[in-house]
Structures are given as structure tokens and as C-alpha cells.
């Protein structure tokens, strides 16, 4: 898809503010879960086709040059990433895939982010998929921004995105985007 690398796309109106940043992104229920008690993500993504059309996701795709994905998130995809939103030149992950350019990183989250930044050049590194990977990046001070999609759903149980945080993190709200079925909020991590 050519539009993924087209920096002149009108949806990406604030390109210079994305250059070289590390951004953690996740979709959560209103009570903070990234999946239900059975590990199922589908309640948070009732219409993936519509989600892919949102300004929020299109903007994220346009600014992303590389991604860091945890092993668990990789395995959820069962190695089939043909429908994956971030078809970008380089990936840094804890898994491998022949359809996209994945790199297996075993020497820690800091190394994975460093390699992703080198692959992304002046574009954003997107940390996606997995509470553990997200939390490790946040705890290590590697995230510049956080993008949270809140779905108006209370799951009651499941895996919480921020359950195991080791320290208090101060955030500054940058932007709120309303889409059908979700509210996306972008925060700057105050360092």
C-alpha cells in the first residue's frame, strides 16, 4: 500500500512532531483491560475494517517507520500478518515471519527499541501489542508518547495494561480524537 509511506498525506498534518519518537499504543476497555478474562481481544475490536479507516490509525500508520512487538502479540497473529496495519520496511520483534521483515531480538527491550529507532530513521517507532512490552518500555523511560484507544466497554476481568507499573509516570494530554466506537487519546510522557 503506497499511502503508508506517503508523507504528503493530508491526514498526517503534524509530521515534524513525530520524527524519531517512540510511541506506545494500545486499545483498552473503559476499566483498563487489553483483553477479556479468556485472553480474547475481539471485544475491543468489533469492527477492524472501520478502525483501519479512522484518522487516528491512518495517522499512526503514516508516521511509523518501525515497530516493537512482544512475543505474545506476535504469536496471537499466528505468523499471518498479511492484514496487519503496519506494513513498514522494518520490524523489531521477539518473533520471526517470512512475509514481513521481522528481526528476532533477545537481548532486552532497550536493544529492541534501539534497533527499531535505527530502522525507523526519522520516523516513529511504534510499540504495539502486549502489556508486558508496553510496561517494560514505559518503566525504562523509552516512550516519548502514549496513544490509548478507549472502547466504551467494561470487561471486569482480563489483562490490565498498567497493572505492573513500577513507578509513577506523569503524562501531558496532547490530543483527543473521537471515532465511532472509541476515543483515542495521545499523551506526551513528561520526563
Task: Please name the residues in contact with 14: beta carbons below 8 A apart, sequence gap of 6 or more.
Answer: none
Instruction: Characterize 27-61 residue by residue with b for buried, 16 or more Cβ atoms within 10 angstroms of its Cβ, and e for exposed.
Output: bbbeebbbbbeeeeeeebeeeeeebeebebbbbbb
Supply the DSSP string of 156-176, one letter for each residue. SSSEETTTT--S---EEEEEE
Residues 6 or more apart whose Cβ sits within 8 Å of residue 87: 1, 4, 100
Q: Where are the alpha helices (DSSP H) in the chain?
A: 48-53, 55-63, 71-76, 109-120, 131-139
The overall average pLDDT reported for the chain is: 77
* pLDDT number for residue 144: 97
Residues 174 and 145: beta-carbon distance below 8 Å:
yes
Distance between CA 170 and CA 63 in Å, rounded? 24
pLDDT, residue 73, reads: 65
Q: So what's the pLDDT on residue 62?
A: 83
User: What's the pTM?
Assistant: 0.76
Q: Give 18's contacts (C-beta < 8 A, 6+ positions apart).
A: 12, 63, 123, 124
Below-50 pLDDT ranges, the chain? 1-18, 81-99
All domains of the chain, ordered by start, with CATH? 19-189 (3.40.430.10)
What percentage of residues in the chain have a pLDDT greater than 90?
A: 35
Angle ∠(34,66,3) on CA atoms, nearest 5: 95
Amino acid at each position: 500500500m503506497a499511502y503508508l509511506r506517503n508523507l504528503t498525506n493530508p491526514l498526517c498534518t503534524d509530521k515534524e512532531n513525530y520524527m524519531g519518537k517512540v510511541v506506545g499504543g494500545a486499545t483498552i476497555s473503559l476499566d483498563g483491560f487489553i483483553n477479556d478474562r479468556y485472553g480474547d481481544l475481539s471485544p475491543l475490536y468489533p469492527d477492524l475494517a472501520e478502525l483501519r479507516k479512522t484518522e487516528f490509525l491512518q495517522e499512526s500508520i503514516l508516521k511509523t517507520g518501525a515497530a516493537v512487538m512482544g512475543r505474545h502479540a506476535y504469536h496471537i497473529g499466528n505468523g499471518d500478518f498479511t492484514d496487519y496495519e503496519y506494513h513498514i520496511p522494518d520490524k523489531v520483534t521477539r518473533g520471526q515471519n517470512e512475509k514481513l521483515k521481522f528481526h528476532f531480538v533477545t537481548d532486552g527491550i532497550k536493544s529492541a527499541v534501539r534497533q527499531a529507532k535505527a530502522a525507523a530513521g526519522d520516523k516513529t517507532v511504534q510499540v504495539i501489542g502486549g502489556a508486558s512490552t508496553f510496561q517494560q518500555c514505559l518503566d525504562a523511560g523509552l516512550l516519548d508518547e502514549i496513544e490509548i484507544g478507549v472502547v466504551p466497554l467494561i470487561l471486569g476481568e482480563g489483562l490490565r495494561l498498567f497493572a505492573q507499573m513500577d513507578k509513577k509516570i506523569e503524562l501531558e494530554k496532547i490530543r483527543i480524537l473521537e471515532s465511532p466506537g472509541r476515543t483515542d487519546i495521545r499523551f506526551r510522557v513528561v520526563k
